[in-house]
């Protein structure tokens, strides 16, 4: 039976996975823009800063849209990322509201934790994929310098 503290901890861990996913997508997008503009060969700090500021001001959905304009995804990767976006939105936009009074009972908290575990798994997998993609692009950039 989950306590409130365990529920809140799981929410935080799940939110972290969403943030890591979003951060890696932003880093990947910045790397791709750097490759497009040759910043790894001829640095342009001003344009790179402007690109980073735009990325940092973007929603996760906007990051994904910008990424799909630059990258062709194989298989079901685009759908996996879109599903992770929906999972992150379920978490950040009304998780407690949707579960309403469930937090008041042991069974309700258990159901909430189960929901968080499913969301966490989806976000964690998406983050791992985004992280691997970012590492590959970063390695390519470092080799080209």
- The pTM of this model reads 0.92
Predicted local confidence at residue 145, as pLDDT: 63
Mean pLDDT by 10 residues, the chain (145 residues): 97 99 97 92 94 96 95 92 98 96 97 99 98 93 76
**Cα–Cα nearest to 109, from 99, 118, 95:** 99
pLDDT for 74: 87
């Amino acid at each position: 039976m989950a306590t409130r503290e365990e529920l809140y901890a799981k929410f935080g861990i799940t939110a972290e996975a969403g943030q890591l996913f979003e951060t890696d997508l932003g880093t990947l997008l910045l790397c791709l823009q750097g490759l497009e503009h040759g910043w790894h060969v001829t640095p342009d700090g001003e344009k790179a800063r402007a690109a980073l500021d735009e990325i940092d001001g973007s929603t996760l959905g906007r990051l994904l849209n910008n990424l799909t304009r630059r990258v062709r995804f194989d298989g079901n990767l685009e759908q996996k990322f879109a599903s992770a976006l929906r999972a992150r939105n379920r978490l950040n936009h009304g998780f407690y509201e949707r579960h309403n009074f469930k937090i008041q009972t042991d069974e309700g908290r258990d159901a909430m934790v189960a929901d968080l575990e499913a969301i966490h798994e989806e976000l964690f997998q998406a983050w791992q994929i985004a992280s691997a993609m970012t590492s590959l692009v970063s390695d390519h950039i470092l080799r080209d310098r």
